[in-house]
Structure formats: structure tokens, C-alpha cells
């Protein structure tokens, strides 16, 4: 009887997962090869990439990396290093959010206040920081192209952030 009551009244909090895809878009007729490791575009992003191809003048799109965020409570932050080919200097990233909106709204919508993506790009002795910072509302199944960061001229590419979410 106690087990039946627990099953009736205990509803576990849904598990929320936001995937941040880092997609490098190469500029046409780049004189040198772009820096960084490349992977094929995942099948779930192909429609979004096809739409981007119609809107932007890039020659090639490739997945640089993906980052999984499991938002909880009053905020969080992840840091890491992006893979680089050929012994180049590392690109450091930070992904964070200020406040997770709690239970997903109806329709499995996730709200993240003050979502932030930052990348440090190596330049000589110093680094250059670039950021995207905004509130995010994303629906499960949606592919949200959040923004673009211009990478260093030597990279011959720009970096797009595409977000997806899953709620279990």
C-alpha cells in the first residue's frame, strides 16, 4: 500500500539535457586550411545546416564539438578545451547560465536565464575573448541557431552555436 501511495504522489523531476553544438562554417576560397578538429554534421542538425546554407555564404560546415548541459537550480557553468589539429594553441570555452526556469513548461519548453557561451582564442602571448549572452527559450525537438562568433582570421571560419534539448 505504501508503494502504491509513493507511485501515486511521487513524480520525479524531469531530466533536462541541453546540447550545445559548435559548428564551424568555413569561408569561401579560404587560402589556408581551417584550424581545429572536424567531425561530420549529426543527422539531427542536417535540416538546420541546409537552412543556414541558404542564408549564409559559407563553403563548408563541420561539427567542431558538442557540449551537454544538464541545467539545475540557480545556475551553473562548464569549462573545457576545444580539440585543435596540428599542435596549435588551445581554444578554451565556458558555457553557463544564470537561472534554470525549473520544471519545463507545457510542451517541454526549457528556459535558461542569462545563457552564456565564451571562447578564448589564442593570439601570440594574449588571448581574445568572444561571448554570446542571452536568455534562451527552447522547445524540445527545436534546433535553435543561437548566434555566431567570428574566429581569428587565421582560422578562416566562423563558429555557430546550435542548441537542442531533450526532456525525459
Distance CA 163, CA 95 (A): 12
Q: Is residue 3 part of a domain?
A: no
Question: For the chain, what is the mean pLDDT?
Answer: 84
Is pLDDT at 88 greater than 80 in this prediction?
Answer: no
Task: Let me know if residue 9 belongs to a domain.
Answer: no
Residue 5 lies in a domain: no
Which residues are CB-contacts of 114 (< 8 A; sequence separation ≥ 6)?
Answer: 75, 96, 97, 98, 99, 133, 134, 135
Residue 92 domain-assigned (yes or no): yes
Quote the pLDDT of residue 125.
Answer: 78
118 membership: H or E segment, kind and range: strand 109-123
151 within a domain of the structure (yes/no):
yes
For 95, the domain range is: 16-167
The count of structural domains within the chain is: 1
Residue 36 has pLDDT above 60, yes or no: no
| Main-chain phi, psi angles of 48, to 5 degrees | -65, -40
Nearby residues of 55 by Cβ (< 8 Å), 6 or more positions away? none
Instruction: Look at residue 142 in the predicted model and tell me its pLDDT.
Output: 93
The pLDDT of residue 100 is: 75
Amino acid at each position: 500500500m505504501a508503494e502504491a501511495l509513493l507511485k501515486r504522489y511521487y513524480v520525479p523531476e524531469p531530466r533536462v539535457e541541453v546540447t550545445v553544438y559548435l559548428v564551424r562554417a568555413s569561408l569561401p576560397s579560404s587560402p589556408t586550411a581551417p584550424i581545429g578538429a572536424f567531425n561530420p554534421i549529426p543527422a539531427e542538425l542536417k535540416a538546420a545546416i541546409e537552412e543556414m546554407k541558404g542564408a549564409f555564404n559559407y563553403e563548408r560546415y563541420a561539427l567542431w564539438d558538442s557540449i551537454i548541459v544538464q541545467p539545475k537550480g540557480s545556475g551553473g557553468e562548464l569549462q573545457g578545451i576545444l580539440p585543435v589539429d596540428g599542435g596549435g594553441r588551445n581554444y578554451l570555452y565556458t558555457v553557463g547560465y544564470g537561472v534554470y526556469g525549473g520544471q519545463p513548461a507545457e510542451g517541454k519548453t526549457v528556459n535558461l536565464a542569462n545563457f552564456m557561451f565564451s571562447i578564448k582564442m589564442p593570439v601570440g602571448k594574449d588571448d581574445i575573448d568572444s561571448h554570446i549572452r542571452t536568455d534562451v527559450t527552447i522547445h524540445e525537438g527545436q534546433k535553435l541557431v543561437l548566434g555566431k562568433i567570428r574566429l581569428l582570421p587565421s582560422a578562416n571560419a566562423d563558429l555557430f552555436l546550435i542548441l537542442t534539448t531533450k526532456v525525459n
